[in-house]
Structure 1
């Protein structure tokens, strides 16, 4: 594809240009990112080291935490560094890499959330056949499909980005590279690209959200036939998942179904989406999941025993 670009780098305006506020943003971003890394890496370690967490649910939770870590890392470190710079710049190539990685891991998270919902559905509606339907091989195949689907989605984003000429200006009114703010800098008609963006990202977010909500309505309806203890346990798990779904999809739908429209709160909502959601994921699953908390306690006890022996 022949590019007609005069722009070799972009200037990212970030959240604010005020020096004092930039320092505050730096501290907040750094704390959130460190919390995201520690929380998700803790879940990854617990699932890998605990034999009690070998069910498909924790198989998907492992990859959800891994996806959260990579998703946040694809954006947060540069955001943190940029808050200290007088003028934050990013090369055209780095910008395209950021677009690809953000959409790849964001899309992967959508697919994993859907797979976790399906796992919960089968566990509740087909408990006797659950080990046969959702076995290790099936989980592996589903995750492979999710990775391939995410790659195809991200390649579509890159294709849309590279299909536009950028002649200047090169100032991006955002804190990271995404297709929606880049469309505003293209020196060409972006109507068709906007439609394709809605069809690609917007439809993915909307359809995924509708499927997940429908799935959980069915699951919650089915809990009437369960025992009090079973209903309480299933309800706790489902509520945790629903909270994550709402946090993740609200911003996704808000931004990508109206890509041609810019609202003053877009960037602040984006912060919750890019930095907040990966942090909330381990907190919700750690605080509301008894099995994870038990595995965490055992891991901590082993560490204390190991330290005492030394």
Structure 2
């Protein structure tokens, strides 16, 4: 929905899209290419790594963390690269997120405070009162978020004067907070957290690294719940063949179907042994990300029976 170009010396961005462009799944989905240039390979690599780390990418799954770590690796800087680079230098280590768990915790706190600021700014009644204000002491405000690496429960309270008290953040104080930016001071160091919310998806960008959060709903809609054992489409694509039929007994890891997306085949496998009780797709069907492709039901145990 939104796209803007970089304007930084030494960096060029090539792209064929603008705000509002429709990007389909039938052609190369590359949105943009970032190129850096400098007098030396080391300077160019460092500039490109810094640019990628600071680029705000919201809503898209990318390998940005891997690219930044590769660009900063001594072997890459030295030009010691070949087709076995990932195997030689441990792909899992190279894919380590730029933001560690401490950064995610702090970003979750910033997201909660930004949400509170948004609620205050949009309140139709007594909107000037501080967030969570009470005549008498009450329970802390509580908000929950999840990331790819874990879940975070944020519990905090604000005094009448706006002083922050957050559980597990004894060394953190609030400097300022709006719906789009939160400034926190931790052990004497001030950091700004830029917060963008798209429904339940929250993206926090700071010097600690980019963090993508999913806000847990306060009240769960039963109709929105996905049944246990459901296999969801990881990306939009087309079903090109099936590996099992409805009612078949399957084993853990057995291919259930294959998706074609972005010129590649993606195998969807059974998460556990059981019976294929739902298969609402057919060969040639186009599916959207998050669509239920199949459901495997584990056999009942003796205790359950």
Work out whether the TM-score is over 0.5: no
More helix by share: 1
Q: What TM-score does the superposition give when structure 2 sets the normalisation length?
A: 0.23
Relative contact order (alpha carbons < 8 A, sep ≥ 6): 1 or 2 greater? 1
User: Which protein shows a greater Rg?
Assistant: 2
Q: What TM-score does the superposition give when structure 1 sets the normalisation length?
A: 0.23
